[in-house]
Structure 1
Amino acid sequence: MNGPAVHVDTASPVPPYEQIRAQLAALITTGRMPEGERLPTVRQLAADLGLAAGTVARAYRELEAASLIRTRRGAGTRVAPLPAPTQTPDPAKLAELALRFVTEARGLGADGETVQRAVRDALDE
């Protein structure tokens, strides 16, 4: 993984595996981690972050279930091709993502206006 690093805030109410999953998912879906890029091994990322290997393994399992990464024996874990965009996003999934973002942002102490501004800024990028 040559791109941006993953960070875990141990003081956050969001579990570490979810922080890892969310950060990697965002890097992948925005193209900052391109298709085929190799991710560190579970053990390596766990050691880098000072976490148990099971924590990173859970994040990787969830990313694999979402078809964002693929793990192949001998080839390691790599970013999978992104699925073709659907015409209409699933409202339930959007609501889930929004809730996750708001929960994490509020955990950082952000108020509603700050959260909305962050979303607008991200959309403008």
Structure 2
Amino acid sequence: MDITIDIDSPVPQFEQLIEQIKAAVTAGVLKAGDALPSIRQLANDLELNSKTVAKAYKLLERDSIIETKGYRGTYVHPRAKANCTINLQEWALRKLTETVAELRDAGVTDSEIRNALAGAISRHAWTK
């Protein structure tokens, strides 16, 4: 699998990496159980900061595209191909758009909505 990162692209590097791994899974280039390079190795190969690769891997793992098995490595998740069609960011945007519309219809101002969202995020962070 060839991964190329365009440093001049407006798309963040971690997103480019995520999209290319998802495309490889969807195309069948990467199959369930295939091993992926370590964060350090991939960062070195692509001349990226290891934190950039770690962020991409964390999001891919959250979406069950890859799975990390501790010191044994990182592998393509058994349900990766099916999970590539799910986009949590789009889902979250759709849900928040609906909620913002309801709040505006009720007369809540944008400033109040922003403050409430920040408060909800802060409150949830403390409960974890």
TM-score category, normalised to shorter length: 0.5 to 0.7
1:31 is matched with which residue?
28
Q: CA deviation at 1:29?
A: 2.6
Q: Which residue of 1 aligns with 2:68?
A: 71
Q: Which runs of 4+ in 1 moved over 4 A?
A: 83-86
Assess, with a 3 A threshold, how the Cα gap between structure 1 residues 12 and 36 changes in structure 2: closer, same or farther. Answer: same
Query: Among 14, 34, 46, which residue is 2:11 paired with?
Result: 14
Write the distance in 1 (CA, Å) between the matches of 2:72 and 2:82: 27
Which runs of 5 or more structure 1 residues have no equivalent in the other structure? 97-125
Q: Distance in 1 between matches of 2:61 and 2:53?
A: 12
May I ask how many residue pairs the two structures share in their alignment?
90
Provide the C-alpha distance between the structure 2 equivalents of 1:35 and 1:84, rounded to a whole number of angstroms: 8
Query: Is residue 57 of structure 1 aligned with residue 50 of structure 2?
Result: no
Tell me if structure 1 keeps the 8 A contact 2:22–2:65: yes
Which structure exhibits the higher relative contact order, with contacts defined as CA atoms closer than 8 Å and separated by 6 or more residues? 1
Q: Which of 39, 46, 49 matches 1:42?
A: 39
- Higher Rg: 2
Paired residue secondary structure (1:70): strand
Q: Percent identity?
A: 41
- Unmatched runs of 5 consecutive residues or more in structure 2: 91-128
TM-score after normalising by structure 2: 0.62
Q: CA deviation at 1:74?
A: 2.6
The structure where helix makes up a greater share of residues is 2
Distance in 1 (CA, whole Å) between partners of 2:82 and 2:57 is 22
What CA distance in whole angstroms lies between the structure 1 residues aligned with 2:31 and 2:10? 30
Shift of 1:83: 6.0
